[in-house]
Chains A and B, each alone.
Chain A
Amino acid sequence: MRLLRNGRKHVAHAEAAIHPPTGRILLEVDDLATHFNTPRGTVKAVDGVSFTLDRGRTLGLVGESGCGKSVLSRSIMGLLPSRNVTRKGMISFDGNRLDQMGPAEMRSFWGTQLGMVFQDPMTSLNPVMRIGKQITESLDFHFDMDRSEAQETALALLKSVNIPEPARRLRQYPHELSGGMRQRVVIAVALACGPKLLFADEPTTALDVTVQAQILDLLRQQQRDREMAMVLVSHDLGVVAGHTDEIAVMYAGQIVEKAPTRSLFAKMRMPYTAALLQSIPRLENPSHTRLNVIAGRPPDLIDPPSGCRFAPRCPYAQDRCREEQPPLIESDDPGHVYRCWYPVGTEAGREALERNLAADVPQAQLAVAGDASVVTGDD
């Protein structure tokens, strides 16, 4: 432990690790649950999530608004409010048990080991603080750099995120930059102290489409340069498709399907994933094509249904789905798990769909009205 010039204590984590780092696995989450106590009841925003992430790999986290993906990243980081929130489960990062740490200990991880990029660059930068200061702040805090060293590092960071005229930008305020540039700055700020894991929470949602690809490529590039792992959260399957190694689909606080990216798109099993993919409007469709929305709304997180949580909206749902919640089942592909009794692309699934169509179940009809091949899992 070093006593910094300014009197703060800096704990270098290489020597303070309780357990030695276990090979390739950087992050391991086991049965994580996050519950919020609100006056209306306990909201189970995250309800039993488990996954692992290797060093340098990217996990995509996809789902609708309110499925708990943002809460999940904040839960792992430990950035939740202190009162009226309960977090359970195991979180192991680089051999350290994050779930057992209080805010003071977590602070030594934030910035240096764990970083986060937020959705809206308009609001994630302090409007009354200069850009340079926002970058050098963490450098000074964690590494006790003197001014010139910090300035140079900040300059280098801005260059590495492809910001033109970096020296000028250092002295500017956030509102003087465009949205895309602001997001680059946010990335620079998050990466300043070289974290091993970056949570990118919808990093492109607030940006123009033209800028989105640039930002995603930038993130990918930074990852490779720094050998950094990343969790890329988005509601947009398209964003996640080209930029991740693995994808986890979340619904109502649980992971409902997880697979290496290619397998997911080639052989998706969970009807929800299929519906998500189907709902992406396609460029080749004629104009005025109806959008294939998923009928219904996400379930109440205070009192979720007892069976499968997607059942009320699922074209394949059968009685069993409504009574018993399916566990995560391994499929024949390596690393592919899903949570469904009548999965897409299987015999059982096809029969279930036909039964529903025959019975005039509205969700089934809606689903089939769209691209039938996607729904039935044929290519």
Chain B
Amino acid sequence: MPELDPAAPVEPPLIPTTTLEPVDLVAAVEGPEPEAERAVRRGRLGIGGTAALFWLFLVVALALLAPVLPIDDPNTSIASIAKQGPGTEGHILGGDGLGRDVLSRVIWGSRATLLLAVSAVLLGLILGGALGLIAGYFRGRADTGLTGLFDVLLSFPQLILAVTLVTVFAGGGVSSTRRMIVLILALGVVSIPVLGRITRASTLSWCQREFVTASRAIGARNRSIIIGEVLPNVLPAMFSIALLGIAVVIVAEGGLSLLGVGIQLPTPSWGNMIAEGRSDLRDAPHIVMVPTVAIFLTVLALNYLGDIVRARFDVRESAL
């Protein structure tokens, strides 16, 4: 697989005005990408970016404020609204298979899902980032070893690895908390190689710059160089991948729930709402569709913002 190229950041091609060869002119007028992507490429927010940001703020705000919002208890069953669709009296998104208010569950569910996603990615960022920095800065055997570690971890299809870890360490009959912790650890471990690789590539590229050599020349200690000089420059790259990573973990949570090893019921999460609602798909599809739409919009917003951040800081395009 072609190795991530740690070359200098990519700049949009400047259009020369005077000595224009026909090929340059062609490139200048046709351009390699449509307008919308060019806006992203410049790193501006635009309409899409603002909408994405707005949605994310909304989701996070609702998640944080859930306990004080005027919504039903997510675990109370009201027989009369069981499997009733959206628009039911007093329950705007209807009720699920056990008569619990769907709106309330989807808001409370966002807490669990987001907690998992953010924690897992944070774990991956810290560990993966640290390892990536070390690998990129010190090179040599540390680099070979760490890259090898990343390779081995990446040799597993990510979902399979996560499922395996959760099943082994928090299989049946464990407490909610333990399942959650294991989930965070498992998904964190799965994200380490990806975040590690990106950080390493970014570190390699920044370490070639003069200011690092200059710091070394005046005798600064490695640790302070890494933390003081390299890390601040690598952070934007890591941040954009983190946004994309959160989206991936949200989706993964859905997958894990469908396989039976997601966030433990009765705590709602977007994933386990879908898993539970599957049996009622025929007569009450909204139980599945509401959390699905929530996931879709959130992932879309995260992807879009991740792209903008990446463009803003000129990070080379790379595959997750």
A, B assembled together: yes
For the complex formed, measure the closest distance between the CB of B261 and the CB atoms of chain A, giving whole angstroms: 48
Q: Which B residue's beta carbon lies closest to that of A67? A: B19
Chain A residues near B30 (CB-CB < 8 A): 81, 83-84
A43 contacts which chain B residues (CB < 8 A)? 17, 20, 25, 28
Q: Does B68 interact with chain A (Cβ within 8 Å)?
A: no
For chain B, residues 1 to 43, give those with C-beta under 8 angstroms from any C-beta of chain A.
15, 17-22, 25-26, 28-30
Known: A70-B22, A71-B22, A74-B22. A40 touches B17 (CB 8 A): yes
Assuming the contacts A38-B15, A39-B15, asked whether A301 and B20 have C-beta atoms less than 8 A apart, the reply is yes
Candidates B18, B19, B29; contact of A38 at CB < 8 Å: B29
Q: In the complex, which residues of chain A have a beta carbon less than 8 angstroms from the beta carbon of B25?
A: 36, 38, 43, 45, 71
- Measured between beta carbons, the chain A residues less than 8 angstroms from B22 are 70-71, 74
Q: How big is chain B's contact interface, by range?
A: 10 to 19
Could you say which residues of chain A place their CB within 8 Å of the CB of B26?
Answer: 81
Contact A65 B19, beta carbon cutoff 8 Å:
yes
Whether A12 sits at the interface, judged by CB under 8 Å, is no
For residue B18, which residues in chain A have a CB less than 8 angstroms away from its CB? 66, 297-301
Other-chain residue from B15, B17, B20, B29 in contact with A85 (beta carbon distance below 8 A): B29
Q: Which residues from chain B contact A66 at a C-beta distance below 8 Å?
A: 18-21
Cα of A297 to Cα of B18 in the assembled complex, Å: 8
Q: Residue on B with the closest CB to A75? A: B22
> How many Å lie between the Cα of A81 and that of B25 in the bound state?
9
User: Is A302 an interface residue when CB atoms closer than 8 A count as contact?
Assistant: yes
Determine which residue in B18, B21, B30 has the highest number of CB atoms from chain A within 10 A of its CB, and name it: B18
Q: How far is the CA of A306 from the CA of B303 in the complex (A)?
A: 51
Cα distance A299–B20 in the bound complex, in angstroms: 11
Q: When chains A and B are docked, how far (Å) is the Cα of A36 from the Cα of B27?
A: 11
Q: Is A37 an interface residue (CB 8 A)?
A: yes
Complex CA gap A207/B18 in Å reads 26
Instruction: Flag B270-308 by CB within 8 Å of A: 1 or 0 each.
Output: 000000000000000000000000000000000000000
Report A170 CB to chain B, min CB distance, Å: 30
- How far, in whole Å, are A38 and B21 apart by their CA atoms in the complex? 14
Most buried by B among A45, A66, A298, A300: A66
Q: How far is the CB of B176 from chain A (nearest CB, A)?
A: 56
Complex contacts, A74 vs chain B, CB 8 Å: 22
Q: Considering the complex, which residues of chain A in the window 125-145 have a beta carbon less than 8 Å from any beta carbon of chain B?
A: none
Closest to A68 in B: B20
**CB < 8 Å neighbour of B17 from A37, A70, A84, A302:** A302
* CB proximity of B33 to chain A, nearest CB, Å: 13
A36-B29 CB under 8 A given contacts A70-B22, A71-B22: yes
CB nearest neighbor in B for A123: B23
Complex CA distance for A186 and B17, rounded to whole angstroms: 31
Asked if A81 and B29 sit within 8 Å, CB to CB, the answer is: yes
- Residue of A whose beta carbon sits closest to that of B20: A66
Bitwise, A314-325 to B at CB < 8 A (1) or not (0) is: 000000000000
User: CA–CA, A297 to B20, complex, Å?
Assistant: 13
B42 to chain A, nearest CB (A): 12
> CA of A83 to CA of B26 in the docked complex: distance in angstroms?
10
Measured CA separation A45–B26 after assembly (Å) = 12
Which A residue's beta carbon lies closest to that of B25? A36
* Most chain B C-beta atoms within 10 Å of own C-beta, residue among A37, A41, A84, A297: A84
**Chain A residues with a Cβ under 8 A of chain B:** 36-41, 43, 45, 64-66, 70-71, 74, 81, 83-85, 297-302
19 contacts across the A-B interface (CB closer than 8 A)? A37-B29, A38-B15, A38-B28, A39-B15, A39-B28, A43-B20, A43-B25, A64-B19, A66-B19, A66-B20, A66-B21, A74-B22, A81-B26, A81-B29, A83-B29, A297-B18, A298-B18, A298-B19, A301-B17
